[in-house]
Amino acid sequence: MRDALRAAAETLSATSETPRLDAELLMAHALGESRESMLLRRLDGLAPSAFDALVERRSCHEPLAYITGIREFWSLDIEVSPGVLIPRPDSETLIETARRALAKRPPSTILDLGTGSGALLLAALSEWPDAMGVGVDRSDAALAVAERNAERLGFADRAQFRKGDWGDREDARCDLILCNPPYVDPAAKLMPDVADFEPGEALFAADTGLADYRRIVPQLPRLLAETGVACLELGVGQSSAVSRLCADQGLLSEVSRDLAGQERCMLIHS
């Protein structure tokens, strides 16, 4: 197994920034156990026969999360599949921002627009155990994944998922609205791991990435409770344009940065 991991890391060095970590996670997946357990107890054994095929898939740029079917987000193991966007650590900035904004008034109702795998909504429900939440998505495949995640992680009694196009069909006012919309300019060049595998409808938006913000922000005055807040994920260089959209609706806005210092979340309130 040690030799197989070494060879796999060498193979993956051409396509991955973390080849050794990828190799270890793929080996653990092939064994059906955690990476930590494998490293502690199994390295002197034989590599499972399925390992080489997994390495081959990763060497062709298939995202690790799609191969293993799991991505950690906010300390939750979120199921993902090719029909949903893979949750990124950057998106945790939305939960961090909401937690600061609502420190003195925990939300009781949460709305996640474009819920995808349900990662943002389920992270929020884990943070506020008395809250109820709704996730909206227009993709049947995404809704199925989100429902499975809610069930497996123990949130099925507090999370509902329904089909919709942003907030068009929603009428309840919520204490917290979360949204990670498509915001990539269609002309942008993305890494093959993203461009060739993740759903384009969850990545790209017309009008240099601003089209969906132009639909979502005007819905916020109708959907936000009186003291509610919305947290929208931002693409690089989009904060000024989204802030102007908010001002046009009579909304106040401020920006939070992610761990890399990028403007990542727009906090919006009345």
- Interval 16-37: pLDDT, tens: 999 999 999 999 999 999 999 9
For the whole model, what pTM was predicted? 0.94
Say if CB 98 and CB 176 are below 8 A apart.
yes
Q: State percent of the chain over pLDDT 90.
A: 98
Q: Which domains does the chain have, with CATH numbers?
A: 2-60 (1.10.8), 74-269 (3.40.50.150)
Distance CA 148, CA 150 (A): 5
The tokens for 73 are 């987000």
For position 42, what pLDDT does the model report? 86
Q: Tell how strand 70-73 and strand 263-269 pair up.
A: unpaired
Across 236-263, average pLDDT:
96
Neighbours of 171 (CB within 10 A): 7
The tokens for 170 are 């929603």
pLDDT tens across 117-168, in order?
999 999 999 999 999 999 999 999 999 999 999 999 999 999 999 999 999 9
Q: Which residues of 248-264 are buried (b: 16+ CB within 10 A; e: fewer)?
A: eeebebebbebeeebbb
